[in-house]
Structure 1
């Protein structure tokens, strides 16, 4: 095992690793997994990185849940703001 490339980039696990450039999240067809990871964690993963470009299946599941929560929150916030702005004008 090469300790810098065969670990999860997010938690350092060595089990059930997935290359981030192979996976897409369901319902996120327009955004890559690497961009989702950056949006939820601030970790940037690039194709030419010399350190791991993999995440474990557990972090993949957490990314799906976290990204879903993020998107739901943003959507709800937009809906509430649109609903409240006319009330503020009165």
Structure 2
């Protein structure tokens, strides 16, 4: 454990940010899984509704620096493509 006061604070701040990042990534994964479940079930209406939620969550994560903007864009593009493939 760190002895210097500023180093102790950095440890606490890093733990807080790690927890925040983990929570947001988990939320993104959850909404993406819901969309993928709707796609595999063939429910286009639910998939499109879930897609809007997923895009919103992915964009929020990217704006906070949890995902790189290109990573977020790729995730959105792949999800959108999958939803549009449903007949």
Choose between structure 1 and 2: higher helix proportion: 2
Choose between structure 1 and 2: higher strand proportion: 1
TM-score tier after normalising by the smaller chain length: 0.3 to 0.5
Q: Highest relative contact order (Cα 8 Å, sep 6+), 1 or 2? A: 1
| TM-score, with structure 2 as normaliser | 0.37
